[in-house]
Structure 1
């Protein structure tokens, strides 16, 4: 099994076990130690993984960081990574913790702050021997991305090389921060951002009323642009699937013809499902959002649970519509011209989701 498959398998384990974990120690044992083991470190070898790593810091004696990963440097074992752990439900903060202080007095170049679900990787890009306040890499075990797994692989024992990681850490850090700013501008465009676009398409005065008007237009334009990109990719993928499906099937492998009414999930319904997933993926793990097709509607649910509907889509009749649910599960049906209009109901979809559980805050 290659590294990517091992990490994804560990992600499945996190999903399966997290709700039964009650303490920080259990978080370490059930989630964090298997993570270190997957990276290739022997968690039962005290020369390689040192639990409760102690180093006196000035007048502070006997302070401990949860784990130190040790490596042989010129015949001497030195810490290369320091790891501080929290309970899986606890939010991660660097405020007043040992990770910052230990970074100053050890030779470790990397600090990891984790609750077993989110792993934040820090180094000293801004000032030598002083750990940055912001991580250069963040891994969410509930939402694993292939490009992040490739970066994580560099921390595994067989591939660990300080110079290689540092050479890409700066790009990772600033790319992540720029992506966050873009997401913020998409959700709530700043005046500066709105003016940048409005001045290029509108020659009049941008008073308060016009700024409000263009703020709404910029937000919608973002939504429609990304919707079009998703649509184009789905059409390409579905076109390839249809091409494969159109290949002749040998007579002996032809399935027996079904009798009675059947439910056929259309490409448009699948496309609408991916749009809803895209809207909600920053609020909850996208894998928990599933669809079920029925004769009269196409349902999108949380955790594949009929009691947790997020919305229903009616796309096969003369008029398209979306049914939304408030916090009391009261239905409200709205006509839509196309599935792109689903983006106009983003706030209602997020509100429907919050009726079942609060968004995860890391």
Structure 2
């Protein structure tokens, strides 16, 4: 059953959030207890949960000898339970920290939603991928200091008057499916297998020999056109999640997969051991994600592209220029895989 949420309710939620004196609340929240009082509890009040709805220090039964308490629980219709783990307002939230919710989640009857929050950011988790195990990533994140109308359309679904856990879980499943599909598609198209390239080549009207040069051109075309929208999403995700400002550029991705295609032509080079590590000013292509096993370094800027193999530095006019250094790249890789 889907509830039709009035637009007026969304507008009222927006008004409440806009009127909330966030700066004052942050200044008052110098520890976890104050974070709960001045940030977390008012947030749930704006979603129409009264004080009696938020059960503090909720007991999560870990067995006869072990009993642990989670900061809050909300029990809906005497059945579905939402677990809330609170942190101090200036605490940095990571998905690793959400791992501690697993124990509570596993041992709390009818728990399907868990929230990790520092009073500013609210991360909503479920068990979409593996029953009774918190997913590695939240299916929804709401930030009091920066939100858009689309976020409000999702947040209102957690309002006490409208919340339907089954519907929220279904939406979470769809979100995880789409994200996983796009990730898998991105991975497949940025590193297409030879079989996939053969299928595409077989369906082309313009017939050429299916040789190494053809494969490199096909990969370059895939990277430059079909991946554009997926790449844009990836950049946005990296920008939002990476505080160091490291964003892998489209050219770097093209160069990596062009080099990778060259290398795996040699059967002695295992495909699964190749990878890259991006840094703020350069990208390393290497073996086994080992900093001591770097095949080459790519240094790309707006004005020039350079590839460094050991102590040899080469300027690239185009990505395809890496073909000129195929032998050196393969020899370097073979030396590292042994």
TM-score normalised by structure 1 residue count? 0.49
Aligned to 1:3, the other structure's residue is in SS state: helix
Deviation by residue 1:63-83 (Cα, 9 ceiling, x = unmatched): 12121012343xxxx562111
Q: Distance in 1 between matches of 2:141 and 2:102?
A: 18
Could you tell me which residue of structure 1 aligns to residue 190 of structure 2?
A: 189
Residue 163 (structure 2) pairs with residue 156 (structure 1): no
1:278-297 correspondence runs (5 A)? 281-284=236-239
Using the TM superposition, give the Cα deviation of residue 33 of structure 1 relative to its aligned residue in structure 2, in angstroms. 3.1
Gapped regions of structure 2 (runs ≥ 5): 1-7, 246-279, 282-300, 305-317, 319-338
Equivalences, count: 234
Q: 1:24 to 1:119 in 2, by over 3 A?
A: same
Q: 1:40 to 1:163 in 2, by over 3 A?
A: same
Could you tell me which residue of structure 1 aligns to residue 123 of structure 2?
A: 119
- Give me the CA root mean square deviation: 4.7
Could you tell me which residue of structure 2 aligns to residue 133 of structure 1?
A: 135
1:49-68 correspondence runs (5 A)? 49-68=54-73
Using the TM superposition, give the Cα deviation of residue 167 of structure 1 relative to its aligned residue in structure 2, in angstroms. 4.3
Aligned to 1:40, the other structure's residue is in SS state: coil
Q: 1:17 to 1:109 in 2, by over 3 A?
A: same
1:1-362 correspondence runs (5 A)? 2-3=9-10, 6-7=13-14, 10=17, 24-25=32-33, 27-29=35-37, 31-42=39-50, 45=51, 47-73=52-78, 80-86=81-87, 88-93=91-96, 96-115=99-118, 116-123=120-127, 126-127=130-131, 130-134=132-136, 137-141=139-143, 144=147, 146-182=149-185, 184-185=186-187, 189-192=190-193, 195=197, 197=200, 200-201=203-204, 203-204=207-208, 206-222=210-226, 281-284=236-239
Could you tell me which residue of structure 1 aligns to residue 326 of structure 2?
A: none
Q: Distance in 1 between matches of 2:123 and 2:21?
A: 13
Q: 1:146 to 1:165 in 2, by over 3 A?
A: same
User: Do the aligned partners of 1:8 and 1:144 also contact (CA within 8 Å) in 2?
Assistant: no
Q: Distance in 2 between matches of 1:225 and 1:48?
A: 43
Q: Distance in 2 between matches of 1:220 and 1:19?
A: 45
Q: 1:144 to 1:216 in 2, by over 3 A?
A: farther
User: Do the aligned partners of 1:70 and 1:81 also contact (CA within 8 Å) in 2?
Assistant: yes
Using the TM superposition, give the Cα deviation of residue 173 of structure 1 relative to its aligned residue in structure 2, in angstroms. 2.8
TM-score normalised by structure 2 residue count? 0.51
Using the TM superposition, give the Cα deviation of residue 157 of structure 1 relative to its aligned residue in structure 2, in angstroms. 0.2
Q: Distance in 1 between matches of 2:202 and 2:161?
A: 53
